[in-house]
Structure 1
Amino acid sequence: MELALVLASTSPGGEAADVVRERLRGYVRAYAGAAEARARGLADGRERDIALRGVAHARAVAADPVHDPAAHLRLLAMGARMVLRYGSEGGGGVR
């Protein structure tokens, strides 16, 4: 995810950025279901709503075509971080 942010600033349309973009899309696809399930189980309504909206946004960004490569990389990095936070066992600690 940190690499995506660097590439967004330096070479958002390059081959390396495309590879990172696809990897981030894969993370979103792989963990979004678990992240959504965990978010639905949160007791705090505000946190639950934020997490559910974050999962939905991450899925939408992963499915969107790339119009602005830099912005897309940044949004994918943030979305992947969020779904990994809620979707991976133990949550948290994702960079």
Structure 2
Amino acid sequence: MSKIRVAINGFGRIGRVTFRKILENDNMEVVAVNDITDSANLAHLLKYDSVQGQFKGEVEHNGGFILVNGKKVLVFQEANPAKLPWASLKIDVVIESTGQFVE
């Protein structure tokens, strides 16, 4: 059985907590994150969370992606998530965690 491919739109408090929980689930994988912040800041915020504590794994960044425990996660900075290549990335689920699209 293949893993459920997840993208997270918004990498604030809710997006980061969701990311950490998905890492604990062997049936899911985070393929991409979309946030207005660059990959360097996203990696730092994931690694050093003031509420959840320091992330125990490895977190690195490199331009268009972050590397989490050796797994590449694409990073996009698109204000309109409808413009993102979810279909070509074969994303099964997009988690909306920005709070902007609640209607």
Q: TM-score, normalised by structure 1?
A: 0.28
Higher relative contact order, structure no. (Cα contacts within 8 Å, ≥ 6 residues apart)? 1
Output the TM-score relative to the length of structure 2: 0.26
Instruction: Identify, as 1 or 2, the structure richer in strand.
Output: 2
Higher share in helix: 1
